[in-house]
Amino acid sequence: MYNVAFVDDSKCIAEKGCRLCIMYCPEADCILLNPESKKAVVITSRCKGCDLCKVVCSTHNAISMHPVDATTGKVQLGADQAESAGLGQAYAG
Ligand code: SF4
Ligand code: SF4
């Protein structure tokens, strides 16, 4: 079990120009701007669960981390967070 990031559209302000998570994510093409909703969207299959996007979005708190079922690839939004890779925690100090 590992975590992936998930964006809450109701909190994301990407339509106002915010791109913080997209800029800081160390994985290429992992967080994209959804051209229809104008919100950030995490490509689950590319996310390494480092927490960095969650840290940089701390003002709007739009990103949360959730376990993903390694067999089905489905994000388990209601489940408790699994162990973190911790990179974002290091940045948060
Ligand atoms: S940092 Fe937060 S508010 Fe900004 S685009 Fe990413 S999810 Fe949206
Ligand atoms: S947890 Fe890390 S790898 Fe995943 S979307 Fe956020 S910054 Fe990118």
- Residue 41 Cβ contacting ligand 1 at under 6 Å: no
Q: Where are the chain's structural domains?
A: 2-92
- Residue 40 Cβ contacting ligand 2 at under 6 Å: no
Collect all residues with Cβ–Cβ distance below 8 Å to 64 and sequence separation of at least 6: 5, 6, 8, 54
- Residue 33 Cβ contacting ligand 1 at under 6 Å: no
pLDDT at 70: 77
Give the CATH number of domain 2-92: 3.30.70.20
Residue nearest to atom 4 of ligand 2 (CA): 47
Q: Is the pLDDT of residue 81 over 90?
A: no
Residue nearest to atom 2 of ligand 1 (CA): 57
9-51 pLDDT per residue, tens: 999 999 999 999 999 999 999 999 999 999 999 999 999 999 9
pLDDT at 80: 64
Q: Which two tokens stand for residue 29?
A: 């093409």
